[in-house]
Chain A
Amino acid sequence: MVQPQITLISFGYFEESFLKDIGTAVGKELVLPVRIREGFIDLSEFYDPTRRQYNATRLLKEVDMVYGQEPDRTLGLFSVDLFIPILTYIFGQAILSGRTGVASHYRLNNERYGLPPDPFLLLSRFSKEAIHELGHTFGLVHCHNPLCVMRSGTYVEDIDQKEASFCAHCNELLATFIKTNHKPD
Chain B
Amino acid sequence: MARKISILIVDDEDSVRDSLYSWFIEDGYAVECAEDALAALSKLESGNYDIILADIKMPGMDGLEMLRRIKTMRQEQIVIMMTAFATVDTAVQALKDGAFDYVTKPFDPDDLSHLIRNASRQIALEEENELLREKVVSLENIGDIVGDSEAMKRVLRDIESVAQSNSSVVITGESGTGKELVARAIHSNSTRRFFPLVSVHCGALTESLLESELFGHEKGAFTGAIYNRKGRFEMADNGTIFLDEIATISTKMQIDLLRVLETKKFVRVGGNKEISSDFRVICATNKDLKTLVEKGEFREDLYYRLNVVNISVPPLRERADDIPLLAEYFIKKYCHAMNRPPVTIEPQALRRLSEFQYPGNVRELENIIERAIVVGGGRKITLNDLPALHSTPVSQAESLEDLERVHIKMILDKYDWNISRAARALNVDRVTLYNKISKYGLRQAQ
Q: Point out residues on A near B: beta carbons under 8 Å.
A: 51, 55, 57, 83-90, 93-96, 136, 141-142, 152, 154-155
Contact = CB atoms under 8 A, between A and B. Distances in A.
A158 to B, nearest CB: 9
B26 A84 contact: no
A86 B80 CA distance: 14
A87 B105 CA distance: 7
Contacts of A88: 106-109
A96 B22 contact: yes
Contacts of A57: 15, 18-19, 22
Contacts of A141: 25-28
B110 A84 contact: no
Given A57-B15, A86-B20, A152-B113, A136 B26 contact: yes
A126 to B, nearest CB: 18
A39 B23 CA distance: 26
A87 B27 CA distance: 15
Across the A-B interface, the 3 shortest Cβ-Cβ residue pairs: A84-B19, A141-B28, A154-B109
B13 interface: yes
B22 to A, nearest CB: 6
A87 B28 CA distance: 18
A51 B25 CA distance: 25
B430 to A, nearest CB: 76
A154 B112 CA distance: 10
A93 to B, nearest CB: 6
A184 B13 CA distance: 42
Contacts of A86: 16, 19-20, 23, 82, 105-107, 112
A83 B20 CA distance: 12
B25 A96 contact: yes
Contacts of A85: 13, 15-16, 19, 105-106
Contacts of A152: 26-27, 113
Given A87-B107, A87-B108, A88-B106, 6 more contacts: A84-B15, A86-B19, A86-B23, A86-B107, A141-B27, A152-B27
Contacts of B82: 86
A132 to B, nearest CB: 9
A185 to B, nearest CB: 31
B27 A142 contact: yes
Contacts of B28: 141-142
A142 B19 contact: no
B22 A84 contact: yes
A155 B23 CA distance: 15
Contact of A154 (B18, B25, B110): B110
B25 A155 contact: no
A102 B82 CA distance: 26
Nearest to A95: B22
Interface size class of B (residues with CB under 8 A): 20 to 34
A95 B22 CA distance: 7
B23 A87 contact: yes
Contacts of A51: 106
Contacts of B26: 93-94, 96, 136, 141-142, 152
10 contacts: A57-B19, A57-B22, A84-B19, A85-B15, A85-B105, A86-B107, A87-B19, A88-B106, A96-B26, A141-B25
Given A85-B13, A86-B16, A152-B27, A93 B22 contact: yes
B14 to A, nearest CB: 9
Nearest to A61: B18
A94 B26 CA distance: 8
Nearest to B82: A86
- Scoring A95, A136, A142 by chain B CB atoms within 10 A of each residue's CB, the highest score goes to A142
B18 A87 contact: no
A95 B27 CA distance: 12
A161 to B, nearest CB: 14
Contacts of B16: 85-86
A155 B110 CA distance: 8
B53 to A, nearest CB: 9
Contact of B106 (A87, A93, A94, A96): A87
Interface in B102-125: 105-110, 112-113
Nearest to A136: B26
B389 to A, nearest CB: 56
B228 to A, nearest CB: 59
- Scoring A51, A84, A155 by chain B CB atoms within 10 A of each residue's CB, the highest score goes to A84
A96 B82 CA distance: 25
Contacts of A96: 22, 25-26
A137 B102 CA distance: 32
A167 to B, nearest CB: 14
A148 to B, nearest CB: 13
Interface in B154-178: none
B113 A84 contact: no
